[in-house]
């Protein structure tokens, strides 16, 4: 079973013509800066975010993702963010360091439109010892211990206190790690994102809020990915919800506002494909901390 699982993972990662996608997150609505640089500084405070995701538990070589970011407004209209992402799958270990810069304009009394750019540095490492035995000594796999590549991205993000819409391309530069016209070990493709969400107050006391959210991702060579979610917040403290990734998984989400500035969230994904026969699901947990001072205009926890 473990051998079969490893073969499956390697097939997904290294089959010819494979179009590599960015790391995926079920709680994308809280981790927007990972895909849209225009989000930097939009919360109006210094915001620190850390996430860990283990995917397809029980499947040898399955993806593990760690993400850390900090972003803040640095002037009335300018935001700055720095993020670090580590993504492991099978024999591949990637580290990505990105810097995001945004500029916002006030489009109405309650809304802002932000434009963002991203500069990123990627360090790609392939461990041949984790490949199939017949491939471990192949010379073409020996030059991928540390491969550096730069990238740039951009995005736009419109938001109010209860709504948002965003379009982004985190990486404009396509990178072929190896391609001899017969074998494509790893290809970075351009990923296109569209996100949207809205917060509804379900009672006049604003004790129950409902937020549907949408993420669509398009990448050449892969099916269109559509994620939809529905979260409920109770008394500005507890969050419960569900999500669906089209033709891939269903998820349960939960969160708790520990203090005005500290929020913890958790998600569990259950596969809806045949891959469910080889794993027990995926887990994702994150912490977000906002430095909210006594003069802040934020009177209640932000839902996004």
Whether 167 shows a pLDDT value over 70: the answer reads yes
pTM: predicted TM-score of the whole model, two decimal places? 0.86
Please give the structure tokens belonging to residue 197.
Answer: 């969400």
- What's the pLDDT score for residue 159? 96
DSSP state letter for 20: B
User: Residues 186-196: pLDDT tens digits?
Assistant: 567 899 999 99
Position 108 in a domain: yes
Rounded Cα gap, residues 279 and 5, in angstroms:
9
Tens-place pLDDT, residues 16-59: 334 456 888 999 999 999 999 999 999 999 999 999 999 999 99
* pLDDT given at position 92: 87
**The two structure tokens encoding residue 219:** 């990448």
Distance CA 52, CA 118 (A): 22
Give the residues across from 88 on adjacent strands: 64, 93
Residue 155 placed within a domain = yes
**Residues spanned by the domain of 82:** 2-290
* pLDDT, tens digit, 9 for 90 and up, residues 248-276: 999 999 999 999 899 999 999 999 999 89
8 A C-beta contact, residue 219 and residue 194: no
Cα 164 from Cα 242, distance rounded (Å): 19
Specify the range with the lowest mean pLDDT, choosing from 72-76, 130-134, 199-203. 130-134
Report yes or no on 202 lying in a domain: yes
What mean pLDDT, rounded, does the chain reach? 86
CA distance 170 to 270: 27
- Is 295 a domain residue? no
| CA 82 centroid distance within chain | 14
CATH number of 119's domain? 2.40.160.40
Cβ pair 129, 176 in contact under 8 A: no
3-state secondary structure of 84: strand
Instruction: Kindly indicate the confidence band of residue 180, based on its pLDDT and cuts at 50, 70 and 90.
Output: low
- Tell me if 273 is assigned to some domain: yes
> Domain count of the chain?
1
Domain assignment present for 297? no
Residues 6+ positions from 269 with CB-CB distance below 8 Å: 26, 55, 245, 249, 250, 251, 281, 282, 283, 284
Is position 301 within any domain?
no
Q: Which is it for the CA torsion 254, 259, 260, 264, positive or negative?
A: negative
For residue 163, being part of any structural domain is answered with: yes
């Amino acid at each position: 079973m473990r051998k079969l699982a490893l073969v499956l993972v390697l097939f997904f990662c290294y089959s010819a013509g494979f179009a590599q996608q960015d790391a995926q997150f079920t709680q994308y609505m809280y981790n927007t800066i990972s895909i849209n640089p225009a989000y930097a500084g939009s919360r109006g405070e210094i915001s620190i975010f850390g996430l860990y995701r283990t995917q397809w538990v029980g499947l040898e070589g399955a993806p593990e993702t760690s993400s850390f970011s900090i972003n803040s407004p640095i002037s009335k209209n300018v935001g700055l963010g720095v993020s670090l992402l580590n993504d492991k799958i099978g024999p591949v270990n990637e580290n990505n360091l990105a810097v995001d810069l945004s500029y916002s304009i006030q489009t109405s009394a309650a809304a802002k439109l932000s434009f963002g750019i991203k500069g990123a540095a990627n360090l790609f490492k392939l461990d041949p010892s984790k490949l199939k035995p017949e491939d471990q000594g192949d010379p073409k796999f020996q030059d991928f211990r540390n491969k550096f590549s730069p990238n740039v991205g951009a995005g736009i993000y419109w938001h109010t206190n209860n709504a948002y819409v965003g379009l982004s391309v985190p990486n404009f530069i396509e990178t072929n790690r190896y391609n001899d016209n017969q074998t494509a070990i790893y290809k970075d493709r351009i990923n296109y994102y569209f996100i949207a969400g809205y917060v509804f107050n379900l009672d006049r006391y604003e004790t129950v809020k409902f937020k549907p959210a949408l993420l669509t991702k398009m990448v050449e060579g892969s099916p269109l990915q559509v994620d939809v979610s529905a979260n409920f917040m109770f008394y500005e403290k507890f969050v419960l919800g569900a999500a669906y990734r089209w033709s891939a998984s269903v998820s349960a989400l939960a969160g708790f506002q520990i203090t005005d500035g500290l929020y913890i969230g958790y998600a569990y994904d259950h596969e809806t494909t045949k891959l469910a026969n080889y794993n027990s699901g995926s887990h994702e947990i994150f912490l977000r901390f906002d430095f909210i001072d006594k003069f802040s205009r934020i009177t209640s926890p932000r839902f996004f």
